[in-house]
Amino acid sequence: MARQVRNLTLSYREREFVLASRALGENKFKIAFKHVLPNISGIIIVQIMMTVPSAIMYEAVLSAINLGVKPPIISLGSLITDASENLQYYSYQVLISALALVFVSLAFILLGEDGLRDAFDLKSNKEN
């Protein structure tokens, strides 16, 4: 993600509005926060929203193999592990915990992919 942000920042550095601001005498920090950061913030937010589901899955897997958070702290992986101990009698507990994990991950993916990308994509806003 850092490489993508760096490439975007370098590409915006040569845009006309940045060159015009530089010609008018604005300092580099004002140009960065007023012109460059608002233009790349949407891409950064979408990238973060697409990274969150993988972090949730990593945490769940690590908690499921007892390498994650310890029992006083609740996590989706520890819920699945605790429910799997009673799988023979209470199989619905595993199903509910696994569905919660899937739905949380899907919510972040759909929000990041569709909602935020549509909201922050300047090219598609100009076409409509």
Q: What is the DSSP letter of 128?
A: -
Per-residue pLDDT of the chain (128 residues; tens, 9 = 90+): 788 888 888 888 888 888 888 888 888 888 888 888 888 887 888 788 888 888 989 998 898 888 888 878 888 888 888 888 888 888 888 899 889 999 998 988 888 777 666 666 655 544 44
Q: What is the number of residues in the chain?
A: 128
Using DSSP, state whether 15 is helix, strand or coil.
Answer: coil
- 114: which 2 tokens? 């569709």
> pLDDT at position 127, please?
45
Using DSSP, state whether 12 is helix, strand or coil.
Answer: helix
DSSP letter string, 56-122: HHHHHHHHHTT-SS-TTS--HHHHHHHHHHTTTT-HHHHHHHHHHHHHHHHHHHHIIIIIIHHHH-H
Number of domains in the chain: 1
> Is this model's pTM higher than 0.85 or not?
no
DSSP letter string, 28-71: HHHHIIIIIHHHHHHHHHHHHHHHHHHHHHHHHHHHHTT-SS-T
Domain range enclosing 35: 2-127
